[in-house]
Amino acid sequence: MIRILFSCLALLGLVAHAQAGDLSMTLTTTPATVVDAGYHSYIAVKNEGGVSIACSFFTPAPNTAGSYTIAAGGSYIWSYGPAIPQTAPLQCVAASTTAAITVETASN
């Protein structure tokens, strides 16, 4: 019985830890979902490409209100609070040609 109790507590401990993930992808001039809707306490997007990108929880467009334009080699971080809506995915788009990005997320 105690063995079962400790197993359950260990499982709960694993579930309670923050979950983090990294992914890399190549953006084109068509918006792409880079982070699905849901609870995220932290999202970081690093632009590894040679052109600007734009990211938004709605429809991204470079140099447009409501979008975060990230210069080549730059990054942007969303963390906690209302800056990360739970009902909309984060979408990004390259300003021209293609751009490689790295995305890091955490949920706790």
Angle ∠(100,101,107) on CA atoms, nearest 5: 160
| CA distance readout (Å), 84 to 2, 30, 44, 89, 98 | 41, 22, 11, 9, 25
Question: Which tops the pLDDT comparison, 10 or 81?
Answer: 81
pLDDT at 3 over 90: no
Whose CA is closest to 93, among 39, 43, 25? 25
**Is residue 101 within 8 Å of 24, Cβ to Cβ?**
yes
**Is residue 42 within 8 Å of 78, Cβ to Cβ?**
yes
Sheet holding 99-107, edge to edge: 19-27, 99-107, 42-47, 75-79
pLDDT band at 13 (very low <50, low <70, confident <90, very high): very low
- Predicted pLDDT at 20: 61
Class level of CATH domain 18-107 = mainly beta
pTM of the model: 0.79
Rounded Cα–Cα distance for residues 47 and 102 (Å): 7
